[in-house]
Amino acid sequence: MSAHAEAIASARGPGFFRRLCRSRAAVLSMLYIGLIVLLAVFAPLVAGYDPMVGGDDSMLPPLSPGHWLGTDDLGRDVWAQTVYGARVSLMVGVVTAIFAVTIGVVVGGLAGYYGGWADTVLMRVSEFFQTLPRFVLALIVIALFGSGLWKVIFVIAILSWPQTARLVRASVSSLRQQPFVDAARVGGMGDRALLLREILPNVAAPIIVTGSLDVAAAILLEAGLGFFGLGDPNHISWGSMLNEAQQYLRIAWWMSLFPGLAIALTVLSFNVLGDALNDALNPRSRVRS
């Protein structure tokens, strides 16, 4: 294959993954996220214990026989809890991000493309949601309607979409004025096709990047709610583990260390992944391999 043909080939599909792997931090993040996803999916197989059921041995330190991350105040296995907690965190993170991105793209796309009063109305609404103090609103909704996984997801999604909407709006309204959009309009494209085929694909990179950051933010917010005892009481989450661990901070550090580490690494990984996606998705960084 000539160097020229190679350059063309690298601008296509498989090159994307290669570009994504250019950064070592991105590779580590993806490996970590992959590991967490596998643990979450196969939690019943890898946990070894029921995370909700305690045993006789309470507050065993890490590396105790049978409990390599130790046990909590009720004798529940910390490893099992952390593994099952990943299910809640990932589910809340991913589902929330999907909701937030969907609402954000629709609202931001319409506001940016049509401008005028549609823009004004939609952006004032998004500002209203942005000015709400995130945590306080989450507290109020859960205090009023009770907690539950789907309520948590709903609350976080309602709070997260404005950022995506503003970002999409800004990108769309600047892309709308690009000559290639005018050229496509002169070529006979209607509004729908222009927005869906000419404009939005060029916003895909920032959308995917904020989606990844939304996952991180949602995991953090869910952990925060869990920490204050506002998570779903029927599920173990990293936040609720921290909530219980805080009173034993001096005597059982492992109870807070492992869920804390899991939250920090997961949030960090999704942020690093977002960054790497941003670099890899930029069409101008293509070809150079």
Interacting residues with other proteins (CB under 8 A): 7-8, 11, 178-180, 182-190, 193, 198, 201-202, 283-284, 286-287
**CB closer to other proteins out of 134 and 286:** 286
CA distances to 110, 113, 212, 278 from 106, in Å: 6, 11, 18, 21
**CB closer to other proteins out of 136 and 186:** 186
Closest Cα partner for 86 from 242, 227, 211, 237?
Answer: 237
Q: Residue written as tokens 């222009």?
A: 194
Looking at this protein, which amino acid is placed at residue 38?
Answer: L
Give the whole-angstrom CA distance, residue 93 versus residue 264.
14
Give the whole-angstrom CA distance, residue 150 versus residue 165.
22
Nearest distance from C-beta of residue 142 to other proteins, angstroms: 39
Nearest distance from C-beta of residue 286 to other proteins, angstroms: 7
**CB closer to other proteins out of 38 and 287:** 287
**CB closer to other proteins out of 35 and 287:** 287
Closest Cα partner for 138 from 121, 116, 165, 160?
Answer: 160
CB 72 within 8 Å of CB 244: yes
Nearest distance from C-beta of residue 191 to other proteins, angstroms: 12
Nearest distance from C-beta of residue 186 to other proteins, angstroms: 5
Nearest distance from C-beta of residue 189 to other proteins, angstroms: 5
Give the whole-angstrom CA distance, residue 268 versus residue 210.
14
**CB closer to other proteins out of 41 and 183:** 183
Tokens of 111: 């506001």
